[in-house]
Amino acid sequence: MRAAVSPTLTRSFALAALLWAACAFAGDEMVFSVQTHEGAPAHIGPSWSLKISGQWQTQCPPRLENIALDKHELRIDARSVLGLCERGATPFSIELNPAMALQHPLAPGVYHVRFYAADGAQSTPKLLAFALLDRSLPNTPAVVPETGFWWTSNTTDANRTTLSLEVQDGQLSVALLSYDDSGQATWYFGAAPYAGHVAHLPLLRLAGGSAPFNPVSSAPHGDAALTLDLEFSSAAHAGAWLTRTLDSDASLQLQTLDLVRLPLADSADGHAWQGDWVLVADAIDVAPRRLHFDQYRAVDAAHFELVDSTDNATLTCARKPAQPEWPPVSCSVRAGDVAAEFASVALARMDGAHVHLLRVTP
């Protein structure tokens, strides 16, 4: 679904909710902040505002041109139409309420926000900012990404970029193993707070360290290089957006990736999930139950089953036929009078509503 801002609505926002300071983006990255406002009109539901700030390169501020929504892709366009403007970096800020601008409620979830601006009536808009805005419902279950190596899917990245992820005490650390423009191996590292759905990580390019057998050690240093935004849909699957600032005009180059936590084994089916697991519940009065899935059966291209032959328990999993090596999209376990559904499935854990299946041995 796409919607545009009418001239009348634009003027009303200019008078009411949009306060454009005088004007400038001189190469600084846009900063997004989100505020929730109470008492929104009932027909558009709970509202939240989006603030974009930075530096504009001249003293002629751009004006809001359009806001469009396609599912959870939110695009905001602005344009400076005045000519012969004196150059000079000047603080710039815009605040808007997307639900009011689009005149319909926005569904809960994570929004992918892109901000484009153009300097001149005939200029091509340039991407100046990107952010993930988590507007999930308060009771939406958190996602705990599994620690270990993650890879980009071959449908979005033929090079299969590798990442190492780890979560500890509310902090997500990422090491991205990639290559520079000349093909030399490059290591990027970043860490940021993680609250259960999205993360924003500035990445440093590490250089200057010592080889393991070098008798003289030297401390590596890090240079700002990339920014990584992550949205986790499960413990083993995430969307990723890499951005870097172009030196030519300070606009952003954006690369969208699909990340998955894959088995290291050659097996490209459900055999990778065989072994010993423990079924645990959040309720303290429910005793853990150990399961040993020793039998595998392929049901069809989209489903497989693992069976505990001694405990009469069955784990049924659904997967994408096009990616048989990926973790299942969902699984359900039936063990006697116990039944549980898992919407987040990884190699070593499965998470459902107040119930978890944790791997004990491979």
Torsion of CA 282, 288, 293, 298, to 10 degrees: -30
**Residues 3-14: tens digit of each pLDDT:** 444 333 333 332
Is the model more confident about 274 or about 180? 274
Query: Cα–Cα distance between 64 and 15 in angstroms, integer?
Result: 12
Nearest to 89, CA basis, from 127, 60, 117, 63: 60
pLDDT of residue 214: 86
Q: Does 284 have pLDDT greater than 90?
A: no
Single pTM value for the model:
0.83
Distance of CA 301 to the CA centre of its chain: 29
Query: Cα–Cα distance between 229 and 194 in angstroms, integer?
Result: 11
pLDDT of residue 221: 83
- The DSSP bridge partners found for residue 307 are 295, 314
Nearest to 51, CA basis, from 75, 81, 73, 30: 30
Dihedrals phi, psi of 139, to nearest 5 degrees: -90, 10
What is the amino acid identity at position 122?
Answer: Q
Query: Cα–Cα distance between 230 and 241 in angstroms, integer?
Result: 7
Q: Does 324 have pLDDT greater than 80?
A: no
Q: Does 220 have pLDDT greater than 70?
A: yes
Select, from the ranges 165-174, 245-254, 335-344, the one with the highest average predicted confidence (pLDDT).
165-174
Q: pLDDT tier at 156 (50, 70, 90 boundaries)?
A: low
Q: Where are the alpha helices (DSSP H) in the chain?
A: 7-15, 98-102
Residue 218 CB neighbours (<10 A)? 10
Average pLDDT over residues 251-264: 89
Q: Does 110 have pLDDT greater than 90?
A: yes
pLDDT of residue 265: 66
Contacts of 299 (CB under 8 A, 6+ apart): 305, 316
Query: 143 by DSSP, 3-state: which?
Result: coil
Is the model more confident about 206 or about 5? 206
Q: Does 174 have pLDDT greater than 80?
A: yes
Is the four-CA dihedral 104, 109, 112, 113 of positive or negative sign? positive
Average pLDDT over residues 272-276: 92
Contacts of 108 (CB under 8 A, 6+ apart): 135, 136, 137, 140
Average pLDDT over residues 234-255: 92
Q: Evaluate whether 225 touches 176 at the Cβ level (below 8 Å).
A: no
Contacts of 313 (CB under 8 A, 6+ apart): 291, 293, 307, 333, 334, 335, 336
Q: Across all residues in the chain, what is the average pLDDT?
A: 83
Q: Does 193 have pLDDT greater than 70?
A: yes
Give me the percent of the chain exceeding a pLDDT of 90: 49
pLDDT of residue 21: 26
Average pLDDT over residues 73-77: 96
Q: Does 1 have pLDDT greater than 70?
A: no
Query: Cα–Cα distance between 198 and 233 in angstroms, integer?
Result: 9
Query: 14 by DSSP, 3-state: which?
Result: helix
Is the model more confident about 141 or about 41? 141
Query: Cα–Cα distance between 347 and 349 in angstroms, integer?
Result: 6
Contacts of 118 (CB under 8 A, 6+ apart): 62, 77, 78, 79, 80, 124, 125, 126
pLDDT of residue 268: 61
pLDDT of residue 154: 65
